[in-house]
Amino acid sequence: MHSVPAMVFHPDYIAPLPPGHRFPIGKFGRIRDLLVADNVVSASAWRTPVPVTEAELCLAHNPDHVAAVLNLELDRKAERRLGLPLSPALVRRACAAVGGTVLTARLALAEGLACNIAGGSHHAFPDHGAGFCLFNDVAVTIRLLSRETLIKTALVIDFDVHQGDGTAAFFKDEPAFFTFSLHCEANYPLAKEVSDLDIGIPAGTKDNVYLSVVKTHVAPLLERLKPDIVFYNAGVDPHVDDKLGKLALSDAGLRARDNHVIECCLAAGVPLACVVGGGYADDLDILARRHGTMHRAATAACAARR
């Protein structure tokens, strides 16, 4: 375990969107800027990923879908389902973000814990994108590491407020890759997929109930599954002020959640790769600071184990 967790960032994580678009794409640069400004992450901790290749994407995704995206040939229906206007910059962003999660996982396997400043595109299915997600970075990474025989098993802990439907679809018949989604039941997607473990909680749920669910499940899953790696989607959209969330977690609730996941994985000696997941607010500084909760929790956990 290194005293400072690696942080993975690529300049292409930011891409232009039309003014007023509801996906806050500028947050990724602000997460990094605030972690630097607050002296949370030292210069030596930053790593720059290599964007994923078409062949690597095709390890998980349907080659026709990959080609349609890379060639900017998505039809209008597919673009509507995605919720983003396809552009060369957006494709570069997607490839960089997947490459970021691949590097984050490699660093986690080598060093115990690493964090991406993007990732968590869990609504992307094998053959289509959806819900602001072009490619499923965690699914591609699992397929790649598995092909390289670096891992045989994986646990996906998805605490984004929306069900990890795409990730569930990738691994629905593969017990070696266990998907756990804790989400708001009355939220997107309307039609849920079947994860290995789904816990849908009611709108308005606050810290105490939410954290009791977290603390009841994380450590027992690690003990039972003994995975080779954990992917943690630390979406901050369960926050009470999130525009799309419908749950009612506080800042302290998010931090307690992240602390628990990180501490459980470190205590079990399981490599942990963290991705940011969803979070929606008009004020990018507030949102980026909220997302940085996970990176701050990881840094603190490593410092405590020096």
Q: Tell me: the pLDDT tens digits for 71-80?
A: 999 999 999 9
In a domain, 1, yes or no: no
Q: What is the pLDDT of residues 252-287, one digit of tens each?
A: 999 999 999 999 999 999 999 999 999 999 999 999
CA–CA dist 295, 32 (Å, integer): 10
Report whether 272 contacts 113 (CB < 8 A): yes
- State the CB neighbour count (10 A cutoff) for residue 172: 13
Identify the band that residue 161 occupies on the pLDDT scale cut at 50, 70 and 90: very high
Q: Kindly give, in sequence order, each residue whose CB lies less than 8 Å from that of residue 203, ignoring residues fewer than 6 positions away.
A: 184, 185, 186, 187, 246, 247
Torsion of CA 109, 114, 118, 119, to 10 degrees: 30
Give pLDDT, residue 1: 58
In the sheet where 154-158 sits, what is the strand order? 46-47, 6-8, 113-116, 272-275, 230-233, 154-158, 177-184, 197-201
Q: What distance separates the 2 farthest-apart alpha carbons in the chain? A: 52
What is the domain range of residue 224?
Answer: 6-304
Distance CA 282, CA 38 (A): 21
Predicted local distance difference test score (pLDDT) of residue 105: 98
User: Per-residue DSSP letters for 224-289?
Assistant: HH--S-EEEE---TTBTT-TTT--BB-HHHHHHHHHHHHHHHHHHT--EEEE------S-HHHHHH
Torsion of CA 274, 277, 280, 282, to 10 degrees: 50
- Give yes or no for residue 233 having a pLDDT over 80: yes
Question: What's 11's DSSP letter?
Answer: G
Rounded distance between C-alpha atoms, residue 175 and residue 98, angstroms: 23
Residue that the structure tokens 């679809």 belong to: 169
Output the pLDDT for position 2. 66
pLDDT in tens, 2-24: 678 999 999 999 999 988 898 99
Q: Which residue has the higher pLDDT, 306 or 108?
A: 108
- Asked if residue 254 is part of any domain, the answer here is yes
- Cβ 182 vs Cβ 245: under 8 Å: no
Domain count, the chain: 1
Predicted pLDDT at 3: 72
Alpha-carbon gap, residue 213 to 161, rounded angstroms? 14
Torsional sign, CA 17, 23, 28, 29? positive
CB atoms within 10 A of CB 52: 25
Q: Is residue 167 part of a domain?
A: yes
| pLDDT mean over 107-130 | 97
- Beta carbons within 8 Å of 67's beta carbon, 6+ residues apart: 54, 73
Question: What CATH number did the domain enclosing 239 receive?
Answer: 3.40.800.20
Strand partners, 213: none
Domain membership flag for residue 84: yes
CA distance 207 to 176: 31
φ and ψ at residue 127, rounded to 5 degrees: -115, 5
The answer as to whether 258 is a domain residue is: yes
| d(C-alpha 233, C-alpha 249), whole Å | 16
Summarize pLDDT for 168-225 with one digit per residue, the tens.
Answer: 999 999 999 999 999 999 998 889 999 999 999 999 999 999 999 999 999 999 999 9
